């Protein structure tokens, strides 16, 4: 009911990309880590043209009064399966695993802009996301890509922007995992000096059935600074990851790192950004015994750049709740906002997105309340300056089942 | 990244609740007199002194809100709620600008049976060796040193119902516990709380057994499995009612459990996602004349909200979990609110966790569900939504006469929050169980540390300080 009016309003109100819009008087969290202030945002041609007070506008500018509502950049999920997994338990709806490739596995061409997770997460404030392959038996399992979540078949984003891998308790010994990882990175390094045909004939490459795509991808990690996103938890494993970073000069991003407080100085010295799930304080494995709700605060106070993952697939917007809990335990508010926006964009070089600044693409959320409160929702979601429809399968089902007309639900539409 | 997690989660689904239960019990009475007078609770509350919480804001868990009231706890009970209470022997706690709620209750937990760390040797929640295992009791798997209990306590959880998983049509009995780690399972059991029987619809049983080329491999196979078991149970129950003891059948643990349901002594907690399956389970309960207490997970409960309200069946739901399997595809965030508001607000909605992280934040889950409901056009207050994590789960667990609300003479299971519990920034500051202070965020001595936590990373330290 109310859903219906909201979505109708925004449908009619959808701005054309050429239209000039002034978002007037919002409490603007720019994403850069500074405190929010009441400001106006002027945008046209998909771009934020100006941010400030008393911006000069002409008569054709559409003014949207925000009356102090919180405004943030569109949220960016750094670790999702959006567009590549529809239903986890149904393999035929999953495109996140390869049986042939490891490091060279790219999910990019599998991305489905019509996946139901996209409008759902978009209506909850996620405007773009990195989608990643899922862990396999290999320590390195493939390349993630970045997608703008406007649902268009003209897929916008960046292909193969980061490599994903893992160290820790899985199969066999982590000593072997570390040794293999070292060998794989070394193979990537050889690519600079050795013909691919010679590398393919190496005994380890043949033994592990490594393909040329894998080798080229590893080459990008070692020789071209492609971000290498490594999940690990045990304190000593984090040190092993940092040693690999130093040895190969990796552009390392650490994920999960539940025992990071024990090696805090080393992470800080290495200037390594991290992705954490602030709500996961369960010692789920013997790698995660140090797990605690204090992780966000401890990393933040050390000045480490933090991004957020979520425990539950399909609801990447719940990183708002996660970062809210981190703030409840002492993380700074603006670090939480930055961790869902600008830190992701900077870490993964996502182009002109992730903050509310002149010249950036206008991915903007206007919230009905504090964006870190799980009970808040977006009122306006803007991608590339275009106001998005907030409907989803979920909102359609809600409309149908709050409609009290006396007829079969299949006729309520 | 967490594929295993979803497989795991899909194994461990279930529950249900109802208004029309009339289960009476006392502390010393067995659950099922004459049948399984064993494993009764030996719980004893911790030592306490009278406590007077001054100038608090209180949600009573029944829909009431009291601003700037005093609350007196003594002898393990709630003694008085009033504008200004004096006491000359109580410990006085200034609760101004803070909030008090009943202890949070989770109707769907697997703590202790899927303990942390989640390793194969602690995977004790699904006796997935036969589709009908009504003979097993979840409590017999419980690991008393599971570190997850203490984490839930920090989230304000004072009682929780532990269920077997959902691999089987009949997964076994569930039991309710007070959230104080003790060294025996019986020392943790909620005195006098009834057992439940977990039943499971849908994808999980048919997948587990279908993959082994045995029944059930379809939803119709699931139904046949339930009906066959109930036919046996009716015959067994009739046999046990024979006056001539010699003509009674030999005791059968599975049949004891089903008979307990038919005799209204054991509550059905039914894992079920889809609307038409829940409706079928209701029809099944009519066929064999038993009562369903609650549907658990119930992602499609909103599609049959009026039916559930008419039947007096609760639905225990997540605020927003979806997509991990096909039967969890039609999620709406207003599900909990729609159940609550059905038939002029007579529905019984519960926010459950089924998850060791979720159980720590049931207040936040309720906040999301309330906000989604209000966005969908309802007008639900915080005081009302508090029922979803207190009195309604207490009702579904059959313990509402003991706990689940701030009422005179109830167990003093109470949480003092740093701020309004519907805010993400509020934390449980003090937790009382039976009037004893069992958690204090400001006092490390009053924070439980399990044996597991002791010296496991650094010998001189605890797992998490």
Out of B333, B338, B364, name the one closest to residue A321 (CB).
B364
Among the ranges given (A163-172, B205-214, B258-267, B307-316), the one the predictor scored with the smallest mean pLDDT: A163-172
* Cβ atoms of residues B322 and A314 within 8 Å: yes
Residue B80: beta bridge partners? B72
Based on the number of CB atoms within 10 Å of its own CB, is B141 exposed (0-12), middle (13-18) or buried (19 or more)? buried
In a domain, B448, yes or no: no
Could you report the per-residue pLDDT of B351-386, keeping only the tens digit for each? 999 999 999 999 999 999 999 999 999 999 999 999
CATH number at residue B219: 3.20.20.140
* Banded model confidence at residue A138, pLDDT cuts 50, 70, 90: confident
The pLDDT of residue B35 is 56
Percent of chain B with pLDDT over 90: 92
The pLDDT of residue B36 is 67
The answer on A161 and A64 residing in a single domain is: no
> Which structural domain range is residue A21 located in?
2-72+378-401
The answer on A393 and A288 residing in a single domain is: no
pLDDT exceeds cutoff 80 at B28? no
Half-sphere exposure of B259 (CA within 13 A, CB side): 22
Subunit contact A402:B334, Cβ cutoff 8 A: yes
Using the 3D structure, point to which of A336, A353, A370 is the last residue of a domain.
A353
The answer on A40 and A178 residing in a single domain is: no
The answer on A387 and A346 residing in a single domain is: no
The answer on A301 and A277 residing in a single domain is: yes
Q: Which of A87, A94, A406 to mutate to test the interface with B (most CBs of B within 10 A)?
A: A87
In a domain, A65, yes or no: yes
The pLDDT of residue A54 is 87
* Banded model confidence at residue A137, pLDDT cuts 50, 70, 90: confident
In a domain, B420, yes or no: no
Out of B118, B332, B356, name the one closest to residue A397 (CB).
B332
Q: Which of A88, A285, A286, A318 to mutate to test the interface with B (most CBs of B within 10 A)?
A: A88
In a domain, A365, yes or no: no
The pLDDT of residue A1 is 34
Subunit contact B376:A89, Cβ cutoff 8 A: no
Query: What are the E-state strand segments in A119-259?
Result: 126-131, 140-148, 157-166, 228-232, 252-256
The sign of the CA dihedral A184, A190, A191, A197 is: negative
Could you report the per-residue pLDDT of B301-345, keeping only the tens digit for each? 999 999 999 999 999 999 999 999 999 999 999 999 999 999 999
A90 Cα to chain B: minimum distance (Å): 7
* Cβ atoms of residues B156 and B104 within 8 Å: yes
In a domain, A220, yes or no: yes
Chain B residues close to A90, C-beta within 8 Å: 325-326
The answer on A386 and A238 residing in a single domain is: no
The answer on A286 and A223 residing in a single domain is: yes
- Complex prediction ipTM: 0.94
Chain B residues close to A284, C-beta within 8 Å: 116-118
pLDDT exceeds cutoff 90 at B24? no
- Burial B74-86, CB ≥16 within 10 A → b, else e: bebebbebeeebe
Subunit contact B463:A289, Cβ cutoff 8 A: yes
In a domain, B423, yes or no: no
The answer on A52 and A120 residing in a single domain is: no
The alpha carbon of residue B274 and the mean position of all alpha carbons in its chain are separated, in whole angstroms, by: 21
Subunit contact B360:A281, Cβ cutoff 8 A: yes
Nearest CA in chain B to A280: B357
> Which structural domain range is residue B120 located in?
3-56+104-408
Out of A279, A284, A291, name the one closest to residue B118 (CB).
A284
B256 Cα to chain A: minimum distance (Å): 35
Q: What share of chain B is helix, strand, coil (3-state, %, to 5)?
A: 30, 20, 45
Domain total in chain B: 1
Q: Which of B293, B316, B331, B447 is nearest to B387 (CA)?
A: B316
In a domain, B259, yes or no: yes
- The gap between the terminal CA atoms of chain A, to the nearest Å, is 12
When pLDDT is averaged across residues A217-224 and rounded to a whole number, the result is 98
When pLDDT is averaged across residues B271-283 and rounded to a whole number, the result is 98
In a domain, A359, yes or no: no
The answer on A50 and A107 residing in a single domain is: no
When pLDDT is averaged across residues A225-229 and rounded to a whole number, the result is 98
DSSP summary character for residue A95: -
When pLDDT is averaged across residues B414-434 and rounded to a whole number, the result is 98
In a domain, B95, yes or no: no
In a domain, B464, yes or no: no
Chain A residues close to B425, C-beta within 8 Å: 324, 327-328
Chain B residues close to A409, C-beta within 8 Å: 303
In a domain, B447, yes or no: no
Percent of chain B with pLDDT over 70: 92
In a domain, B454, yes or no: no
- Rounded Cα distance between A83 and B268, Å, is 39
The answer on A278 and A211 residing in a single domain is: yes
Domain total in chain A: 2
CATH number at residue A389: 2.30.40.10
The pLDDT of residue A312 is 78
The answer on A6 and A80 residing in a single domain is: no
pLDDT exceeds cutoff 50 at A2? no
B152's CB contacts (< 8 A; 6+ apart) are B106, B109, B111, B160, B179, B356, B359, B360
Q: Which of B118, B120, B306, B320 to mutate to test the interface with A (most CBs of A within 10 A)?
A: B320
Nearest CA in chain B to A89: B325
Strand A157-166 with B91-94, pairing: unpaired
pLDDT exceeds cutoff 60 at B7? no
What is the rounded average pLDDT for all residues in chain B? 93
CATH number at residue A299: 3.20.20.140
The answer on A40 and A162 residing in a single domain is: no
Subunit contact B10:A89, Cβ cutoff 8 A: yes
In a domain, A204, yes or no: yes
* Cβ atoms of residues B367 and B422 within 8 Å: yes
Q: Which of B1, B322, B325 to mutate to test the interface with A (most CBs of A within 10 A)?
A: B1
């Amino acid at each position: 009911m109310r859903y219906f009016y909201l979505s109708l309003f925004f449908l009619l109100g959808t701005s054309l990309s050429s239209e000039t819009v002034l978002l007037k008087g919002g409490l603007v969290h720019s994403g850069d880590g500074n405190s929010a202030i009441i400001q106006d945002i002027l945008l046209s041609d998909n771009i934020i043209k100006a941010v400030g007070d008393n911006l000069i506008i002409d008569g054709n500018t559409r003014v949207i009064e925000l009356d102090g509502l919180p405004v943030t950049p569109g949220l960016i999920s750094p670790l999702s399966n959006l567009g590549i997994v529809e239903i986890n338990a149904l393999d035929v709806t999953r495109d996140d695993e390869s049986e042939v490739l490891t490091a060279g596995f790219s999910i990019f061409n599998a991305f489905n802009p019509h996946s139901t997770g996209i409008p759902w997460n978009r209506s909850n404030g996620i405007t773009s996301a990195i989608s990643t392959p899922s862990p396999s038996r290999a320590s390195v399992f493939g390349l993630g890509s970045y997608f703008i979540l406007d649902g268009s078949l003209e897929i916008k984003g960046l292909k193969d922007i980061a490599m994903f891998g893992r160290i820790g308790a899985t199969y066999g010994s982590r000593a072997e995992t570390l040794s293999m990882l070292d060998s794989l990175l070394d193979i990537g390094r050889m690519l600079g000096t050795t013909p691919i045909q010679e590398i393919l004939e190496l005994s380890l490459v043949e033994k592990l059935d490594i393909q040329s795509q894998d080798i080229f991808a590893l080459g990008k990690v070692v020789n071209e600074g492609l971000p290498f996103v490594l999940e690990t938890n045990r304190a000593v494993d984090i040190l092993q990851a940092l040693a690999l970073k130093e040895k190969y000069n990796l552009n390392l991003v650490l994920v999960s790192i539940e025992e990071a407080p024990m090696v805090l100085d080393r992470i800080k010295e290495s200037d390594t950004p991290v992705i954490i799930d602030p709500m996961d304080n369960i010692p789920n494995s013997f790698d995660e015994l140090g797990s605690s709700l204090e992780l966000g605060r401890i990393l933040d106070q050390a000045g480490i750049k933090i991004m957020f993952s979520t425990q539950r697939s399909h609801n990447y917007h719940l990183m708002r709740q996660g970062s809210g809990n981190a703030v409840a335990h002492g993380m700074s508010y603006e670090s939480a906002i930055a961790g869902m926006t600008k830190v992701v964009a900077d870490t993964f070089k996502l182009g002109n997105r992730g903050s509310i600044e002149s010249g950036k693409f206008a991915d903007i959320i206007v919230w009905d309340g504090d964006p870190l409160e799980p009970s808040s929702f977006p009122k306006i979601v803007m991608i590339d300056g275009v106001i998005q429809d907030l409907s989803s399968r979920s909102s359609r089902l809600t409309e149908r089942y709050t409609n009290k007309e006396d007829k079969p639900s299949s006729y309520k539409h | 990244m967490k594929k295993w997690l979803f497989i795991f989660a899909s194994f461990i689904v279930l529950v249900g609740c109802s208004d029309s239960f009339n289960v009476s019990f006392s502390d010393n009475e067995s659950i099922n007199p004459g049948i399984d007078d064993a494993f009764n609770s030996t719980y004893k509350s911790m030592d306490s002194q009278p406590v007077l919480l001054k100038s608090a804001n209180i949600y009573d868990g029944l829909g009431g809100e009291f601003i700037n009231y005093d609350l007196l706890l003594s002898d393990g009970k709630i003694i008085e709620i009033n504008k200004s209470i004096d006491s000359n022997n109580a410990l006085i706690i200034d609760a101004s600008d803070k909030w008090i709620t009943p202890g949070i209750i989770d109707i769907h937990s697997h703590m202790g049976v899927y303990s942390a760390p989640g390793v194969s040797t602690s995977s004790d929640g699904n006796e997935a060796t036969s589709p009908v295992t009504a003979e097993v009791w979840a409590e017999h798997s419980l690991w008393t040193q599971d570190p997850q209990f203490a984490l839930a306590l920090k989230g304000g959880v004072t009682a929780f119902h532990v269920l077997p998983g959902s691999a089987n049509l009949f997964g076994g009995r569930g039991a309710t516990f007070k959230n104080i780690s003790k060294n025996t399972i019986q020392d943790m059991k909620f005195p006098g709380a009834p057992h439940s029987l977990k039943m499971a619809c849908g994808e999980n049983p048919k997948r587990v057994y279908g993959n082994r080329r045995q029944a059930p491999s379809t939803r119709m196979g699931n139904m046949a499995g339930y009906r066959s078991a109930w036919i046996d149970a009716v015959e067994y129950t009739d046999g046990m009612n024979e006056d001539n003891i010699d003509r009674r059948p030999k005791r059968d643990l599975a049949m004891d459990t089903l008979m307990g349901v038919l005799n209204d002594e054991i509550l059905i907690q039914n894992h079920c996602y889809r609307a038409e399956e829940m409706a079928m389970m209701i029809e099944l309960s009519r066929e064999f004349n038993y009562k369903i207490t609650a549907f658990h997970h119930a992602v499609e409960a909103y599609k049959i909200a009026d039916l559930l309200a008419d039947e007096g069946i609760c639905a225990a739901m997540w605020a927003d979990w979806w997509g991990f399997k096909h039967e969890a595809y039609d999620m709406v965030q207003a599900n909990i609110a729609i159940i609550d508001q059905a038939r002029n607000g007579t529905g019984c909605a519960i926010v459950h966790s089924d998850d060791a992280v979720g159980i720590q934040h049931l207040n936040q889950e309720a906040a999301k569900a309330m906000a989604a409901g209000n966005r969908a056009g309802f007008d639900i207050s915080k005081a009302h939504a508090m029922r979803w994590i207190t009195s309604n789960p207490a009702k579904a667990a059959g313990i509402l006469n003991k706990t689940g609300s701030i009422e005179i003479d109830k167990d003093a299971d109470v949480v003092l929050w740093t701020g309004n519990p519907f805010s993400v920034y509020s934390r449980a500051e003090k937790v009382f169980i039976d009037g004893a202070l069992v958690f204090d965020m400001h006092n490390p001595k009053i924070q439980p540390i399990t044996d597991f936590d002791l010296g496991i990373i650094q010998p001189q330290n605890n797992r998490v300080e």
